[in-house]
Structure 1
Amino acid sequence: MPLATTRVQPPLDFIPPRFNPGILAISRALLPIWLSWQTDLSDIQVKNLDTLVHLYEQFQKQQTRFLLAFRHPSPDDPVAIAYLLWRAIPQQARDMGIRLERPVHAHFLYDRGIPLWAGRWLGWLGSNLGGVPIQRGKLDLAALKTARQLFCNGDFPMAVAPEGANNGHSEIVSPLEPGIAQLGFWGVEDLRQTNRPESVVIVPVGLQYRYVAPPWKKIADLLSQLEQKSGLSQPLTMNRLQSLRQRFAKTDLPTQQAAELYGRLFHLAEYLLTLMEQYYRQFYSITLPAPDLHQTPQEQLAQRLQKLLDAALSVAEDYFTLRPKGGLIDRCRRIEQAGWERIFRADLGKQPLSPVERGLADRIAEEADLRMWHMRIVESFVAVTGHYVLDRPVAERFGETALLLWALVTRLEGGNPFPRPSLGPLSTTITVGKPISVSDRWPSYQQNRRHAVATLTRDLQAALEALIIPTTPAD
C-alpha cells in the first residue's frame, strides 16, 4: 500500500526491463536466505513439474512460446514462483535427464505501484530481472508494447498473475483480468506475421498455502489484539459465549474451540462492518439498506459488505467524477489511475512552479491520496464472501480472514498493512495445470476477438479454480 502522499510528484516514468544475468545469479543465490528471513515458507512442493520441464525444453528449441498464469493469493507468491523457476525446474530437468540451457527464468509483469510503497530498489531489481511494470488502470501502451515484444522475441517465457493483485484467499480465485488472454493472441499473431512455427500456450499454475501446524493460539491472540483496538476489549462473558454457540450450533465446525473462534471472528467482522456503515452514513450521506432478516447471518454479512464496498468506491468515484463501470476490481483500477494522474503530474511541464502553484498542486495530490484510501479498503475485500470460513473451517481460512481484518484495522489506524503478522510456518503447494493452447483458438479470434478473449479468460479461470486442493479440518 502506498505511503501517504502530501506533495505533487513528477510523472511516473516507465521502467524498461534491462535483464542482467549477474543480478539474476545473485538473486538466485540469495533465494534460500530470503525464504527463511522474509517469509514463513518452510517447505515448497511442486506437482506436475515435468510439464514445465518439457515446455522449457520446447521453448529453448524454438517450438513453443508460453505464458505462466499463476495464482496470486499472497504477497509471498513471487518468491514461490522464483523457487519454481530457479530451483525446482532445473533440478527436475536433471532428474529427467533433460539438459536445459541456463538460466531457467521468465520475464514478468508487475504493478508499477509496487516500487512506490516498497521502495525504488524493487523497481531497479524488477528491471534487472527482466520485469515489465504496468499501470493497471489505463491503457499502458509502453508496458503492453514491451510485454508483447518480449513474449514473441524474449529469451524467456512470460509470467503473469491474471488476478492482478493478491486477494488473501488460497481457495478463492478472483475474477481474472483479460490482459493475459489478449497477450497470448498477440503472440500468435506476431509469430504468424513472421512465419515462425512456434505454438503458443498458457500454463495455469496454482499456489496454495497451509500451516505446518494449525496456529489456533496465534489466531486467537491476533483476534484479541483486533478486538481491543476496535473497542471490543471486554472479554467474552459466559452469556455471550453461550449465545455464540447457539447462533452457530447448526454449523459444521469441527471442535468447540473452532466454534468459539468462529464466533469471535464473525462478531468482530460484524462490529467493524457496523462501524464502517455508520462512518459512511454520517460523513458521506450514503444510504445503506438494512439487512434482510430472512437471510442467514453469513448471507446478511456478505450482502452488507458488498453494499459497503460499493459505497466506499462511490465516494472516491464522485470525487474523481468517474462513472461506476464494471466489477469492484475494474472500479478500483480506474480510481487508482485517476489518483495517480493528480499526484504524478505530467501536465505541469518542466518549468519550475511558483510557491502558490506548488501549494495548489500539493493540495490536489494530497486530496487525491485521501480519496484513494477508500479504494484501498475495498481492494482487500474483493474476494470476501461472508461464508468462506464456515464452508471449510480450517486454520488456513481462519488465518487468512483474521489477517484481512488486521489489514483493515491497520488501514483505519493510518498504518501500512505490510508486512503482515506471522501466524506460523507455511508449506506451499505449487500445482502446474494442463497447458491451454492459444494457437488452436486463433480461428475463433479472427472471427470475433472480444468473444475469443472472453472465452479464453473464462477457461483459464476455470483451470485455476480446478487446481485448488481442498483442505480438511484439523484440530
Structure 2
Amino acid sequence: MRWFLPFILRFRTRPWLTAGVVKIEAENAEILAELYQKFQAGKIRFLIAFRHPEVEDPLCMLYLLSRLVPKAARQHGIKLQEPIHSHFIYERGMTIWAGNWLGWLFSRVGGVPVRRGRRVDRLAIQTARDLFANGKMPIAVAPEGGTNGHSGIVSPLEPGVAQLGFWCVEDLRKSDRTETVFIVPVAIQYRYVQPPWTKLNWLLSKLEADSGLAVQSISQSAINNSTEIYHQRICLLGEHLITEMEEFYRRFYHQDLPQIPNQTLIPRLHRLLDTSLKVTEQYFNIQAQGNFIDRCRRLEDAGWNYIYREDIADIHKLPPLKRGLADWIAEEADLRMQHMRIVESFVAITKTYLQEQPTSERFAETALLMYDMLTRIQDSTLPGRPSLGLRQVQITVGEPISVTERWEKAQNNRHAARQAASTLTQDLQTALENLIS
C-alpha cells in the first residue's frame, strides 16, 4: 500500500486522470512523531480523530503516517520503530457498494468494520475498545461519521470517540496500567493547485442545462474574476432545485409543504431535507430521532436490512415466488434510500459558507454536491464526479487532548462522567474547527 499510495492518490479510480491529489503537506507532524515514540515506549495510548470531508481522507491519513510523520521524526531526531501505522474504523456499507475486495484489503491493513444504525454493533465496539487499550498500533477514527464535502465546515461529532477514550482509561486502570490516554485532533483541507474557474463555469452550465434553467454564459475574460456571478448562479440553481423538489414531494408523496412568502433558501432547504427523511422513515416505519445525520444513519441500517436479508440463509434456494418478492422489496428499499442519500449531500450547507470566503474551492464544493444530487436522481448508482483540477492537501495536527485527566476528575460520579464525555466531544469539535479556521 505504501508503494502504490502516490499512484492511487494521483489517479484513484476515476476516468479523468486530472482528478487526483498531487501534493500533501503536514503541519505539526512532529507532534504525532513524539506521540508514536511514547506509544512505542509503553507510556501512552492515543486515538487519532481526523476530519472527514472527502473520500480521499483515509489515503491522505495513510500518507501522513507512512511518509510525513517519519520525515518529521528524522528532522527532529525522534527515533521510531517501523511501521508507523494505525488501526482504523470504517463503515461496513463501504464494502457493500464497493465490493468484497475492499473488505479483504481493509482487514489486512488494520481496518475494523462497524455497522451504524439503530442497533449497537457490539462486536465492532468491543474490537475497537480492545485495540485502543491493547493494540500494537494506535487507532484512527473519523468522529464526524461520514463525509460532508466541505473542507471548511466540521459536521457535528458523534459521541463514540469520547466514549472510547474513557473506556480505554478504565480498561488500563483495571489492568493496573499507568499509560496516559490522549485523543489527537487532525484536520484535512483540500485546495486546487490552480483555481478551477473555467471548469467550474462548465460544471454550472451543465447543471443549469440538466435542471431546465437557462444557461448563463460568462465571457472568457470574466471567468476568473466574477465571484459575484458564480454566487448568483449557485443561489439561483439552488432555489430552482428546491422549488422542483418541493413540488415533487407535494404532488407524488402528498407532503404538506406550504409556500411561505419571502422565505429564505436555508429554511426551505432544511424543511425539504426533513420532508425527504420523513418519506423514507414512513416507508421503513421508523420514528424520527436526532439530527439529520442521526436519521440518515438509522435509515441506512434499515435499508440494508431490507436489501441484505439476514433472515434468508440461501437466497438461491428460495422458490421463484419468494425470490421475486425479496427482489421486489430490495429494489423498493434501494429506491427509498435515494431520498436519504440526497439529504446526506446537503446536511452541512450553511447560509454564510460562500459569503464568508467566495473562493473557487467553496464554489466547487457546493456545485459538486448539486451534481451529486442530480446524478442520483437520474441514476441510483452514483457515478464518479467530474474532475475540476489537480488538488493539494494540507493536514494539520492539533494539540493532544488528555482523556486520563478528564476521567480522573469525573470518576465515581455517573452524572459527572456523562458530562465529561459530552464536554470532551465538544472540545474536540472546537479543536477541529480551530484547525481549519
TM-score norm. by structure 2 comes to 0.93
Asked whether the 8 Å contact 1:202–1:436 carries over to 2, the reply is yes
Q: What does residue 15 of structure 2 align with? A: none
Q: 5 Å matches for 1:267-416?
A: 267-293=236-262, 300-349=264-313, 352-416=317-381
- Tell me the alpha carbon deviations over residues 212-249 of structure 1, each in whole angstroms, 9 at most, x when there is no partner: 221111100000111111112444699xxxxxxxxxxx
Cα distance 1:261–1:279, how it changes in 2: closer, same or farther (>3 A)? Answer: same
1:131 pairs, out of 111, 116, 121, with 111
Deviates more, 1:344-353 or 1:438-447: 344-353
How far 1:56 moved relative to its partner? 0.2
Identical-pair percentage = 52
- Tell me the alpha carbon deviations over residues 406-430 of structure 1, each in whole angstroms, 9 at most, x when there is no partner: 1011111115334222111212110
In structure 2, give the amino acid aligned to 1:389. L
Number of residue pairs matched? 423
Asked whether the 8 Å contact 1:70–1:161 carries over to 2, the reply is yes
In structure 2, give the amino acid aligned to 1:45. E
In structure 2, give the amino acid aligned to 1:205. V
Cα distance 1:166–1:445, how it changes in 2: closer, same or farther (>3 A)? Answer: farther
Is the aligned partner of 1:444 residue 2:436?
no
Structure-2 separation of matches of 1:387 and 1:432: 26
Q: 5 Å matches for 1:220-259?
A: 220-235=201-216, 257-259=226-228
Asked whether the 8 Å contact 1:291–1:303 carries over to 2, the reply is no
Structure-2 separation of matches of 1:202 and 1:235: 48
Match of 1:28, SS? coil
Tell me the C-alpha RMSD between the 2 structures: 1.8
Match of 1:29, SS? coil
Deviates more, 1:354-363 or 1:44-53: 354-363
Is the aligned partner of 1:425 residue 2:399?
no
How far 1:373 moved relative to its partner? 1.0
1:202 pairs, out of 183, 203, 207, with 183
How far 1:321 moved relative to its partner? 0.9
Match of 1:277, SS? helix
Q: What does residue 51 of structure 1 align with? A: 31
Is the aligned partner of 1:145 residue 2:88?
no
In structure 2, give the amino acid aligned to 1:217. T
How far 1:119 moved relative to its partner? 2.1
Structure-1 separation of matches of 2:58 and 2:412: 34
Match of 1:159, SS? strand
2:3 pairs, out of 29, 43, 51, with 29
Cα distance 1:34–1:237, how it changes in 2: closer, same or farther (>3 A)? Answer: closer
Structure-1 separation of matches of 2:99 and 2:159: 28
Cα distance 1:459–1:234, how it changes in 2: closer, same or farther (>3 A)? Answer: closer
Cα distance 1:363–1:415, how it changes in 2: closer, same or farther (>3 A)? Answer: closer
Asked whether the 8 Å contact 1:445–1:451 carries over to 2, the reply is no
Structure-1 separation of matches of 2:346 and 2:69: 34
Q: What does residue 14 of structure 1 align with? A: none
Q: What does residue 151 of structure 2 align with? A: 170
How far 1:266 moved relative to its partner? 1.1
- Tell me the alpha carbon deviations over residues 100-128 of structure 1, each in whole angstroms, 9 at most, x when there is no partner: 11100000000100011122211111100
Asked whether the 8 Å contact 2:375–2:383 carries over to 1, the reply is no
Task: Provide structure 1 residue ranges, at least 5 long, that are not aligned to the other structure.
Answer: 1-26, 239-253, 470-475
Asked whether the 8 Å contact 1:115–1:123 carries over to 2, the reply is yes
Structure-2 separation of matches of 1:164 and 1:446: 30
Cα distance 1:77–1:234, how it changes in 2: closer, same or farther (>3 A)? Answer: closer
Q: What does residue 244 of structure 1 align with? A: none
Q: What does residue 434 of structure 1 align with? A: 399
- Tell me the alpha carbon deviations over residues 186-205 of structure 1, each in whole angstroms, 9 at most, x when there is no partner: 11111111011111010000
Q: What does residue 163 of structure 2 align with? A: 182
In structure 2, give the amino acid aligned to 1:459. D
How far 1:291 moved relative to its partner? 3.8
TM-score norm. by structure 1 comes to 0.86
Match of 2:181, SS? strand
In structure 2, give the amino acid aligned to 1:439. T
Is the aligned partner of 1:63 residue 2:47?
no
Structure-1 separation of matches of 2:182 and 2:61: 18
In structure 2, give the amino acid aligned to 1:337. D
